[in-house]
Amino acid sequence: MTAVQQHAASDPAGPTGRLATWVAGLTLGDVPADVIERAKYLLLDGLGCALVGAQLPWSRIATGAVLELEGAGDTVVIGTGHTTGAPAAAVLNGTFIQGFELDDFHPLAPLHSCSLLIPALLSTASVRPHPTTGAEFLLGAIAGFEVGPRVGYTLHGTQMLDRGWHSGPVFGTHSAAMASGKLRGLPPAQLEDALGLAGTQSAGLMAAQYEAMSKRMHHGLAARNGCYAAGLAAAGYTGIKRVFEREYGGFLSVFGEGHNPDAAVLTGQLGQRWETTFIMVKSYAAMGGLHGAIDAARRLRSSIAPKDISTVDITVGETVYKHGWWRPERPLTPIGAQMNIGYATAAALLDGNVLTEQFTPARLDADDIWSLISNTSVHLDESLTNAPITERFRTDVTVTTRDGAVHRARVDLPHGAPTDPVTNDELVAKFHCLADRVTSRRRADAIERAMVGLENLDDIDELNDLLAAPVAGALD
């Protein structure tokens, strides 16, 4: 066997082999300038979420527990002043980024990319025998931004949520593994092993959304699993070959059972259509499917006094209905409130926004919130299930006031959707809205400069130094 054959994927023409070969060959020169630019700002958004998430009450519990389990190491745990082993740091850093439902998400193949990629890349960089440049870090991130959604497409994206899987940690192991594997410089054969090792670790149950702190950790666990997958592959430990196309026990045959998975979309238009530009940046601290309702509620609030509201009726499609509506019980946990369309809409109507202040213990148990929730009805529009993608997440909010007047607002796609993206300037403003409340403006400015000029950074340890020191608690 020649050296080329040893380094090639087992079937270079198959879906798994094509993906591994593309990741192995990707260079920054292959990536359009606007994609590179957007990737840097997405990473900045992820770091803002990490800083605000590092000292939340549930994050502190996670930090204490994981450090006790894992012990010492050299990898930075963002915003805590602690270091630990690379896998443990990946768990915690991913948990922080996902810690307050403010991080990015992909609308068609739902996952939270930065909570997978930043932890996997920081942990991988910490165990490399030589410094990691910002350009290498950026290229690894772009590989991950591209892979995760494509895996999601193979399972028809939101159908996984409809079935009760937490889609992000199901798709996300591959995203983290390819980012970590790219940073390690793995050839196609070992990237194929990493995909197989990642796929066999995919998991996540969406029932965690009701009250479990563990929902915050799912992407962190996937980041660790992807980091492990690449590390094992780099050492010669083999994974499942052709993991996507195996008929028995393969990724698509198992997770796609009963809903016609499509392996072709895994590699369709690779290097031509860039998923990085479809990733949504959140404007609110709530599950992405609720942003249409929040936008509609804020629009209505401009002409309705909250004290005059009598009833609220909300109509949504299947994914948002299944994922975001159940009759809540008082008081909700923060995670439950951030997932529940009744709570999020009530908060938007009453407070005009859905950010950290709407999830304090006092607000979660406030009489005005619960009075409005008790007068809220949510309806399923089954016709949206097979509607065009531009209509599938349509949200209708109808508010009836005490004088009998009816006020309606419809949002087809919320601000932040690919047709109306959060701009890079808006993203910087969001970063400072988050970071400045938990650390100094000087430190936040330095992080911003490092990320915006990431491709020019000689050593990612410069970024680690900025991320390491403890931050204040966002809810303290």
* CATH code for position 314: 3.30.1330.120
Q: How far is CA 52 from CA 110, 343, 429, in A?
A: 22, 22, 14
Same domain, 120 and 213: yes
Q: Is 134 helix (H, G, I), strand (E, B) or coil?
A: helix
Same domain, 272 and 309: no
Average pLDDT over residues 438-459: 98
Average pLDDT over residues 434-451: 98
Q: Is 361 left (phi over 0), alpha (psi -120 to 50) or beta?
A: alpha
**What is the residue type of 342?**
G
The predicted pLDDT at position 259 comes to 84
Residue 427 belongs to some domain of the structure: no
Give the count of beta carbons closer than 10 Å to the beta carbon of residue 72. 10
Give the count of beta carbons closer than 10 Å to the beta carbon of residue 233. 27
Same domain, 37 and 157: yes
Rounded CA separation 223/380 (Å): 34
The predicted pLDDT at position 390 comes to 85
The number of folded domains in the chain is: 2
Which residue has tokens 């996997």? 120
Give the count of beta carbons closer than 10 Å to the beta carbon of residue 418. 15
Average pLDDT over residues 359-374: 97
Helix 134-154 to helix 15-25 angle, to the nearest 10 degrees? 160
**pLDDT by residue (tens digit) across 12-59?**
999 999 999 999 999 999 999 999 999 999 999 999 999 999 999 999
Top-confidence residue, 386 or 379: 379
Could you give the residue ranges of the DSSP H alpha helices within 211-360?
218-234, 251-255, 291-301, 318-324, 334-339, 341-351
**pLDDT over 70 percentage in the chain:** 99
Same domain, 117 and 238: yes
**pLDDT by residue (tens digit) across 113-135?**
999 999 999 999 999 999 999 99
Residue whose C-alpha is closest to residue 119's, from 142, 83, 90: 90
Give the count of beta carbons closer than 10 Å to the beta carbon of residue 214. 17
- Residue 451 phi, psi (nearest 5): -80, -40
Cα 31 from chain centroid? Answer: 22
Residue 449 belongs to some domain of the structure: no
Average pLDDT over residues 109-113: 97
Whole-prediction pTM:
0.97
The Cα angle at residue 149 between residues 147 and 150, in degrees rounded to 5:
65
Which residue has tokens 């690449």? 230
Average pLDDT over residues 386-391: 87
Residue whose C-alpha is closest to residue 301's, from 367, 346, 341, 359: 346
Same domain, 259 and 367: no
**pLDDT over 90 percentage in the chain:** 96
Same domain, 215 and 333: no
Average pLDDT over residues 63-89: 97
Residue 448 belongs to some domain of the structure: no
Average pLDDT over residues 81-101: 98
**Confidence grade of residue 160 (pLDDT, cut at 50, 70, 90):** very high
Residue 295 belongs to some domain of the structure: yes
The predicted pLDDT at position 2 comes to 53
**Confidence grade of residue 345 (pLDDT, cut at 50, 70, 90):** very high
Residue 234 has which token pair?
């780099």
- The domain of 182 spans 15-283+455-468
Average pLDDT over residues 345-365: 97
> 110 near 152, Cβ under 8 Å?
yes
Residue 430 belongs to some domain of the structure: no
Residue 433 belongs to some domain of the structure: no
Q: Is 349 helix (H, G, I), strand (E, B) or coil?
A: helix
Does pLDDT of 179 surpass 80? yes
The predicted pLDDT at position 5 comes to 62
Same domain, 279 and 331: no
Same domain, 308 and 265: no
Total number of residues shown for the chain: 476
Same domain, 158 and 77: yes
Same domain, 301 and 163: no
Residue 445 belongs to some domain of the structure: no
Same domain, 181 and 73: yes
Residue 434 belongs to some domain of the structure: no
**pLDDT by residue (tens digit) across 307-328?**
999 999 999 999 999 999 999 9
**Confidence grade of residue 71 (pLDDT, cut at 50, 70, 90):** confident
Which residue has tokens 């601290």? 285
Task: Give the CATH number for residue 117.
Answer: 1.10.4100.10
The predicted pLDDT at position 4 comes to 56
Average pLDDT over all residues of the chain:
96
**Confidence grade of residue 3 (pLDDT, cut at 50, 70, 90):** low
Residue whose C-alpha is closest to residue 430's, from 344, 355, 351: 355
> 427 near 44, Cβ under 8 Å?
yes
**pLDDT by residue (tens digit) across 222-244?**
999 999 999 999 999 999 999 99
- Residue 471 phi, psi (nearest 5): -110, 170
Same domain, 336 and 221: no
